[in-house]
């Protein structure tokens, strides 16, 4: 459990499993008062030099206590309860190891660009790329390319395989439906031209390894000139190595073409 401004002090907790809480700091709130006795909480103990993060149980009493049930990490690089002496702060906080997708790059707003490149840091095992209100200069397909050298070059040729499904509100034709093997991976076929409506998509990306192809799966909603589409595209890229960057671009007739406008954000999963 988490809540804002929960922080107490403790004196000489040592490495004890159960420590006494000395009450909230000025302007802060106590664990039991916020969560109730018996609640499981995310906690940090910090003396300004070393820290311990874990999951514990708080109990009402005289004084209230915190049981250091599970240590997830500490400044010593172990999962042991550290030996704290003197006064310490005990507060509610969430370790990044307990967060699912975290922001890798803040939302990037682009206008009239042919492509947008994103690094895939090796500290993450998977990624989610969000496209928000993306439009293009004409009805286009949206594509992804992978890089194994940090974006200096991108995999082309017959390395991409993909398949998708589109549900459409009315019968329509639209431009841009490249086949596999053209050096592009498709993740939508419904970017609107003229800015009347927009594509919104979430693209899950696995960077792969030398023995496992990088892959992506996109779910999307969007509109071409007259028709609403909902669907998905997924596929893989046999890059022969872990990939560490992706390029997003529009295409037509099986090749990169056109420009797009909108907001893009990249999140990572540790």
Q: Give the tens place of pLDDT for each residue, 209-264.
A: 988 899 888 887 776 555 666 777 788 888 889 999 999 888 776 678 888 888 89
| pLDDT tens-place string over residues 53-89 | 998 999 999 999 999 988 888 999 888 999 999 999 9
Higher pLDDT, 68 or 193: 68
Mean pLDDT lowest among 12-16, 143-147, 179-183: 179-183
Fold of the CATH domain 101-269 = Jelly Rolls (2.60.120)
Percentage of the residues of the chain whose pLDDT score is greater than 70: 81
pLDDT at 95: 73
Per-residue pLDDT averaged across 17-36, rounded? 94
Task: Give the per-residue pLDDT at 228.
Answer: 65
The count of C-alpha atoms lying within 13 angstroms of the C-alpha of 101, restricted to the half-sphere facing its C-beta, is: 16
The answer to whether residue 36 scores a pLDDT higher than 90 is yes
Lowest pLDDT segment from 48-57, 126-135, 139-148, 161-170: 161-170
């Amino acid at each position: 459990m988490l809540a804002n401004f929960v922080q107490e002090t403790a004196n000489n907790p040592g490495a004890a499993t159960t420590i006494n809480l000395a009450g909230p700091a000025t302007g802060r709130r106590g664990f039991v008062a916020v969560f109730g006795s018996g609640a499981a909480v995310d906690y940090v103990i910090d003396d300004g030099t070393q820290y311990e993060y874990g999951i514990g149980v708080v109990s009402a009493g005289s004084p209230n206590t915190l049981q250091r049930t599970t240590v997830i990490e500490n400044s010593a690089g172990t999962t042991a309860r550290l030996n704290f002496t003197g006064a310490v702060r005990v507060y509610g906080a969430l370790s990044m190891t307990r967060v699912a997708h975290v922001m890798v790059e803040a939302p990037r707003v682009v206008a009239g660009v042919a492509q947008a490149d994103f690094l895939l840091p090796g500290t993450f095992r998977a990624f989610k790329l969000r496209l928000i209100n993306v439009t293009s200069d004409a009805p286009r397909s949206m594509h992804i390319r992978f890089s194994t050298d940090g974006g200096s070059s991108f995999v082309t040729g017959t390395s991409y395989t993909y398949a998708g499904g589109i549900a459409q509100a009315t019968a329509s034709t639209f431009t841009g439906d490249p086949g596999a093997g053209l050096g592009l991976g498709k993740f939508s076929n419904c970017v609107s031209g003229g800015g009347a409506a927009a594509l919104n998509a979430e693209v899950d990306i696995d960077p792969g390894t030398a023995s496992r192809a990088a892959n992506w799966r996109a779910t999307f909603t969007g509109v071409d000139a007259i028709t609403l589409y909902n669907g998905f595209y997924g596929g893989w890229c046999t890059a022969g190595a872990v990939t560490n960057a992706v390029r997003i671009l529009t295409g037509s007739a099986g090749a990169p073409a056109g420009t797009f406008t909108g907001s893009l954000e990249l999140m990572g999963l540790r």
